[in-house]
Structure 1
Amino acid sequence: VFIRPEDTLESLYGDDWVYVARFNRIDRRHVYPGMTIKSPKNMADIRDYSPLPATYEPARPYDRYILIDMEEQWLGAYEYGVLKFSMPAATGKDGYETPTGVFHADARHRNHTSSLYKVEDQSAQYPMDYAIRFHVGADNVAYWIHARDLPGRPASHGCVGLYDEDMQKRIFMFPDRPVLADAKKLYEWAVGESAYEGVDSGELELLEDGPVVEITGKNPRYLPTPQRAAADVKK
């Protein structure tokens, strides 16, 4: 579907916009005139869409196992090898690829912000709400799963981003009515108070026996997309 100036996901798909957004790995803030998105012939085909396997043998011994497929730009949460839920993700862009391999989550930080990168207008450090750290590189750079924008393609500097429209509204004043909250959902399942005793202070906390995080594949290849005009940016 070609996006016209008057189009939004809601105007095109009504209440089904959520499924189309997930299918395209994109948030509402990044749907702009001149781009095209994938549109299903039958909406029922994507309402429970997940490109990840319903069962995953390496996850069978673990009560919490996170699988991230970079080619699919998708994350799955497994309990004893069974997929409990899954969600789109944005991994590291070319030149900043997310490290692959098998890791363990070793820290949580619900109110984390980037120490290196700022938001588009440079007014504040980039928010990384509901952050789960899974790796610290030899250069002492930390990699997290956290809330961020999802533009429909790999976009980060190595971290793994998930939907959080509450964060977008707080920082960018859009969307008016936040709906998508995948970063919070994963955080509460993986490292929240139900998984660890004690109150989550919101500050950085080291974890013992954090869930396994497996990252596989390579970044997908895309055709060139239209350049986005500054006037199209939703703030």
Structure 2
Amino acid sequence: MKFNLNKSSIIFVLSFLFLFIIQCKKEKKPTTEETPTKEEKVDSAKQDSIRKDSIEKAHIKFSAFIFPKKKRDSAMSVFKEKYSEQERYTILALNRLDEKNSWRADTLIIPNKFYDNFLKYSPFPAQVDLLKKVKKFVYFSYPIQAFAVYENGDLKKWGPTSLGKKSAKTATGLHFTNWKKKLAISTVDSDWKLPYNVNIANRLGIGWHEYDLPGFPASHSCLRLLKNDAEWMYSFAEQWVLTDNGNTVKANGIPVIVNGDYNWGGERPWLKLLNNSTGNQISEKELAKNIHPFIEKILAEQKNREKVLSEMQ
């Protein structure tokens, strides 16, 4: 059988084949290189979450609730009637106060949105790449009187604190958690009971624990927390590992950095939020800069702890 193809037929056949090849390429499944990896998908999801949080934070605005000196009691009654218990907790925490010390307030910052998730109000970055290899990390900021907890670079918790007063400042720099006790007694005054105490400077007797938050740095060097935060942080913290005789530290607990200084005598930092809703924000770049001088030590101590624990098994 013979086929006599003229020039037009040849062009038609070639055109058809060309279109068929193009269509096949379009329908071809992506190669392994083109398909996003599991890690890339996770990173993308995290970035989407961070962008969403940033947008939500940008929409949070703050107003002032002022307590006049002559009608403080009536103003406090209005405050308690206007806001629910959970909303009051959020408001007081943002003002570095607990319920017991709410009477100290003269001006409170009030958010225009109330979230069940307190992370929405965080002044700390949601992620810190420098901490990706660090399993557990705690950061206390003197300037804004707040703490942040990270796991492998992801922000897990933040909250208010009251660090050391000017005459008894909390030692800044790198610390590690040592021992912990559900109810410790202060070495300064035996009448001071310290629930959920986690020591970070054994010789100085400094640790974080539940105690009064009056809206400013007021402690004798310790790191005060709200009850709920102190209980959570107590469970989160890991203790040091000692030799059998208890005289030598074989491995430290988790790293803790206390950074910066307070604006003594100046405006309370959170009041800046009335004019600038991001006035207390600490950027990832700034936080990484503060952590960077200690990162090698942190990773070395973490590696040593893993080794010691593995040898104990």
Fold-level similarity (TM above 0.5): yes
Q: Report the Cα distance in structure 2 between the residues aligned to 1:108 and 1:57, rounded to whole angstroms.
A: 29
Q: 1:208 to 1:107 in 2, by over 3 A?
A: farther
Aligned partner of 2:196 in structure 1 is 130
Once the two structures are superposed, the pairs formed by residues 174-213 of structure 1 within 5 Å of their partners are 181-191=228-238, 208-213=251-256
- Choose 1 or 2 for highest CA Rg: 2
SS in 2 for 1:39: strand
Question: Relative to structure 1, is the Cα distance of residues 191 and 158 closer, same or farther in structure 2, using a 3 angstrom cutoff?
Answer: same
Question: Which secondary structure does the structure 1 equivalent of 2:194 belong to?
Answer: strand
1:216 to 259, 267, 273: 259
Give the letter for the 1:40 counterpart. P
Name the CA shift for 1:27/1:34 in 2 (closer, same or farther; >3 Å).
closer
Are the equivalent residues in 2 in contact too, given 1:68–1:74 (CA < 8 A)?
A: yes
8 Å CA contact 1:162–1:183 kept in 2: the answer is yes
Q: Would you tell me which structure has more strand in proportion to its own residues? A: 1
1:16–1:97 CA distance, 2 compared to 1 (3 A): same
Q: CA RMSD in A?
A: 2.8
2:213 pairs with 1:150: yes
Q: Residue type matched to 1:30 in 2?
A: N
User: In structure 2, how many angstroms separate the alpha carbons of the residues matched to 1:219 and 1:77?
Assistant: 20
- Residues 186-214 of structure 1 show CA distances to partners (whole Å, capped at 9, x for unaligned) of 1111238xx99xxxxxxxxx894411001
Provide the C-alpha distance between the structure 1 equivalents of 2:238 and 2:161, rounded to a whole number of angstroms: 18
Q: What do the CA deviations read for 1:86-131 (whole angstroms, capped 9, x no partner)?
A: 111110011111111011111111111102126xxxxxx1111111
Residue 58 to residue 142, structure 1, CA distance change in 2 (3 Å): farther
Shift, 1:221, TM fit: 3.6
Q: 1:72·1:220 contact (CA, 8 Å) conserved in 2? A: no
The count of corresponding residues between Structure 1 and Structure 2 is 189
Q: Is the 1:112–1:129 Cα contact (8 Å) retained in structure 2? A: yes
- In 2, the alpha carbon distance for the partners of 1:163 and 1:107 equals 20
Instruction: State the TM-score, normalizing by the size of structure 1.
Output: 0.71
RCO higher in structure (CA 8 A, sep ≥6): 1
Relative to structure 1, the CA distance from residue 31 to residue 135 in structure 2 (aligned partners, 3 Å threshold; closer, same or farther) is same
CA distance in 1, matches of 2:96, 2:105: 17
The match for 1:232 is none
* Residue segments in structure 1 that go unaligned for 5+ positions in a row: 119-124, 165-180, 197-205, 226-235
Higher helix share: 2
TM-score normalised over the length of structure 2: 0.55
Partner of 1:62: 134
TM-superposed deviation, 1:223? 5.0
State how far apart, in whole Å, the 1-side matches of 2:106 and 2:142 are.
22
Partner of 2:99: 28
Pairwise CA distance, 1:61:
2.1
User: Paired residue for 1:19?
Assistant: 90
